[in-house]
Amino acid sequence: MIVGVGIDVVDIERFGASLERTPGLAERLFTPLERTRALASLAARFAAKEAMAKALGAPGNMHWHDAEVVSESSGRPRLELRGTVLASADALGATSVHLSLSHDAGIASAVVILEG
């Protein structure tokens, strides 16, 4: 049973300008592993975190580092949940997280589906 769905899109150029304009923003939003990615991938990862928040019902206590996008050996992205994000997912009864990322034509997007 689906217990949550979230989607988000990010303008890659605008996101890059925000990162340049705001010192420390990348460190606040992304884990050290995530920060090794190119700008388009960072924008997609930000979209994934926003989509995750939407799927959870936008809890105000979410910590950005508690949802980390990692790549499986196949290259498939998945969300690792911990702390505040894991607690919110558990409260919804989510037992599985599905993630899809894309970036093309200056836009990054992500969809998150929570199953319980």
Is residue 62 a contact partner of residue 85, using CB atoms and an 8 Å limit?
yes
Residue-wise burial string across 67-97, b where 16 or more C-beta atoms lie within 10 A, e elsewhere? bbbeeeeeeebebebeebbeebbeeeebeeb
Mean pLDDT value of segment 111-116: 97
Say how many domains are in the chain.
Answer: 1
| CATH code for the domain of 85 | 3.90.470.20
58-75 pLDDT, tens digit each: 878 889 999 999 999 999
Query: Which residue range(s) make up the domain with 82?
Result: 2-115
| DSSP result, 26-84 | HHHHS-TTGGGS-HHHHHHHHHHHHHHHHHTT--TT--GGGEEEEE-TTS-EEEEE-HH
pLDDT at 59: 75
Map tokens 């605008």 to a residue.
14
Mean pLDDT value of segment 14-34: 96
Band of residue 110 on the pLDDT scale cut at 50, 70, 90: very high
pLDDT at 44: 98
36 HSE (CA, 13 A, CB side) = 6
